[in-house]
Structure 1
Amino acid sequence: MTEQDIFSKLRDVLSDSFQLDPESIHLDSHLFKDLDLDSIDAVELAIQLQEFTGRRVSAQEFKDVRTVGDVVATLQKMLS
């Protein structure tokens, strides 16, 4: 999958799961500051990403994730 494919899927997950406007989601969007996600939302996002990748998302993989772009990069590593 390309970065754009992953970003597109992630934008769908974020907009569907957290009622966000897809147009407000960009690679540089900060998950907590810009998109107003909280720690409970982060857990829900991890669950959604597990379903998407078919792999368990570890806390270690996500400890430095802050932006949508960080999530995309982490997913690219997981899928490669």
Structure 2
Amino acid sequence: MTEEEIFHQLRAICARILSVDPARITRDTDLREELDADSLDMAELAAASEDRFKLVVDLDTAKQARTLADVTTLVRAGAQAG
């Protein structure tokens, strides 16, 4: 799966969790600052990513993610580790 495919799938997941239009989400959108994601939203995004991509996301590392590019990097790293 390409990074672009991962991004588009994560954007759809993120839009659903945060109840926002996917068009508002770019790679550099700060999920917390620009879309008001809280720690529960980020945990839900991590769990949904684990389910979708069949991997384990390190929660300590996931807490540091700010943008969808950060989350995409986490997913790629998790996929390579698994």
Q: TM-score, normalised by structure 1?
A: 0.89
AA aligned to 2:68 is V
AA aligned to 2:30 is H
AA aligned to 1:31 is L
Alignment correspondent of 1:62: 62
* Structure 1 unaligned spans of 5+: none
After superposing on structure 2, the runs of 4+ consecutive aligned residues of structure 1 that deviate more than 4 Å are none
Alignment correspondent of 1:40: 40
Q: TM-score, normalised by structure 2?
A: 0.87
Alignment correspondent of 1:11: 11
The CA distance in 2 between the partners of 1:9 and 1:69, in whole Å, is: 12
The CA distance in 2 between the partners of 1:68 and 1:47, in whole Å, is: 15
Alignment correspondent of 1:31: 31
What is the aligned length?
80
What secondary structure, in the 3-state scheme, does the structure 2 residue paired with 1:44 have?
Answer: helix
How far apart are residue 64 of structure 1 and its match? Answer: 2.6
**Relative to structure 1, is the Cα distance of residues 63 and 41 closer, same or farther in structure 2, using a 3 angstrom cutoff?**
closer
Identify which of structures 1 and 2 has the higher relative contact order when contacts are C-alpha pairs closer than 8 Å and 6+ apart.
Answer: 1
AA aligned to 1:38 is D
Q: How large is the Cα RMSD of the aligned pairs?
A: 1.2
